[in-house]
Amino acid sequence: MSAFAHVKTGYALPPFVIESVSPDAMRDWSVFLADPNPIHLDVEVVKAKGLGDKRINQGPINVAYMMNMLMTAFPGCRIETMDSRFLDNVYEGDRVVASGEVTAVEGNRISCDLKLDVDGRGTVNAGTATIVI
């Protein structure tokens, strides 16, 4: 019996939570991405650009949170496709929750809707994915 026999259309994927987005991680990602954009590193630059008063998480980190949610929900499986739309910024200190819902199960493929929510500000990233189990 498949380990995912319980997964049907409408199944809510277990959420993946980051309690507080870390500016230290942003510094690490500026190296991973070879992109030292100061809006991820320097609060004064963020203020000067009129973008708020906290460092802004790199967009791909937000995608990684949703990928982590998928990989935790479907251990040992692989992501085949994924699309995500960037709707708003995530800032240092934000509590973010990645969640999803199964929209179709066809053979060994599971399709899902995904979203990333920030406490108090709603959905900041949304997308879809297909998982091969």
Partner 1 sequence: MEEFPPAPDVAGTSLDGTAIFTITADENAALCKSTGVEPASDGTAHPIYYYIATQVAMGKTVAGVCETCEFDVDDGPMMGSSGVRFAEQLMVGQDYKVTGEILSLVRKKSRKLGVMDVLTYRLRLHPAEGGDAVLETDNVWVLPRKELAA
* Smaller CB separation from partner 1, 22 or 101: 22
131 sits near partner 1 (criterion: CB under 8 A): no
- Residue in 14, 16, 6 with CA at minimum distance from that of residue 101: 14
Distance set, CA 86 to CA 4, 11, 15, 74, 90 (Å):
30, 24, 19, 24, 10
What count of residues does the chain have? Answer: 133
> Judged by CB under 8 A, which stretch of 5-13, 60-68, 99-107, 116-124 contacts partner 1?
60-68
Helix residue ranges per DSSP H, the chain: 23-32, 43-48, 59-73
59 sits near partner 1 (criterion: CB under 8 A): yes
46 sits near partner 1 (criterion: CB under 8 A): no
117 neighbors 96 (Cβ within 8 angstroms) = yes
Query: Could you tell me the end-to-end alpha-carbon distance of the chain, in angstroms, rounded to an integer?
Result: 13
Provide the mask over 80-119, with x wherever binding to partner 1 is found by CB under 8 A and - wherever it is not. xxxxxxx---------------------------------
33 sits near partner 1 (criterion: CB under 8 A): yes
49 sits near partner 1 (criterion: CB under 8 A): yes
71 sits near partner 1 (criterion: CB under 8 A): yes
Interacting positions 7-26 with partner 1 (CB under 8 A): 16, 18, 22, 24-25
43 sits near partner 1 (criterion: CB under 8 A): no
Tokens of 80: 């085949």
